[in-house]
């Protein structure tokens, strides 16, 4: 009877990484966040995701800076072909629901999350509590093209 071998892959597991950028409550943080994200994605060879990822990060960070009074943070994570971009802020209130696509053109407010909804593969938010501090984390995901 011939001996059979169990197939094992010698390929390394897909690379995973995560970065956090702590930002002050300052509108200039939006530009710093976009440029930092562009550098991260370029250095990891994900240039094809840069334009959409920058737009999404700018919207999430803008909301964190404009609608809260405390510090914020941008988090970027790559795992198994999915880029997750998120913004933490110190306000525990849920984000306003995004506008429907048809309403975005005429809306004065609420365009940011509507754009996130339209451009991201998935988005959401979760309340956070750490060391007695409360806040929320609003995130979205982009899948890399196959």
The secondary structure of 103-123 as a DSSP string is HHTT-SS-HHHHHHHHH-SEE
Q: Which of 58, 66, 60 is nearest to 32 (CA)?
A: 58
Quick check: 61 and 88 in contact, CB under 8 A?
A: no
Closest C-alpha to 40, from 28, 31, 50: 50
What pLDDT is stored for residue 7 in this prediction? 43
3-state DSSP assignment of residue 30:
helix
Question: Tokens standing for 139?
Answer: 């995130």
Inform me whether the pLDDT recorded for 13 exceeds 60: no
Quickly state the pLDDT bin for 133 (edges 50, 70, 90): confident
Does the pLDDT of residue 14 top 90, yes or no? no
Residue-wise pLDDT tens digits, 16-61 = 999 999 999 999 999 999 999 999 999 999 999 999 999 999 999 9
Q: What is the pLDDT of residue 9?
A: 38
- Of 126, 96, 127, 125, the closest CA to residue 112 belongs to 96
pTM for this structure? 0.81
CA angle 52, 57, 58 (to 5 degrees): 100
Tens digits of residue pLDDT in 64-117: 999 888 889 999 999 999 999 999 999 999 888 766 666 555 555 557 888 899
Domains of the chain: 17-143 (3.30.565.10)
The pLDDT assigned to 11 comes to 40
């Amino acid at each position: 009877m011939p001996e059979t071998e169990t197939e094992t892959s010698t390929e390394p597991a897909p690379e995973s990484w995560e970065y956090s950028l702590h930002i002050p409550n300052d509108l200039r943080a939006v530009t710093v966040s976009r440029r930092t994200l562009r550098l991260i994605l370029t250095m990891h060879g994900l240039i094809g995701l840069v334009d959409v990822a920058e737009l999404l990060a700018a919207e999430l960070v803008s909301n964190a800076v404009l609608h809260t009074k405390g510090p914020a943070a941008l988090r970027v994570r790559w795992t198994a072909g999915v880029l997750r971009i998120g913004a933490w802020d110190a306000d525990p209130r849920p984000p306003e629901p995004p506008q429907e696509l048809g309403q975005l053109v005429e809306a004065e407010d609420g365009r940011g999350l509507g754009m996130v909804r339209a451009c991201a593969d998935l988005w959401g938010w979760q309340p956070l509590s750490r060391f007695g501090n409360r806040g929320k984390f609003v995130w979205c995901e982009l899948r890399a093209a196959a």
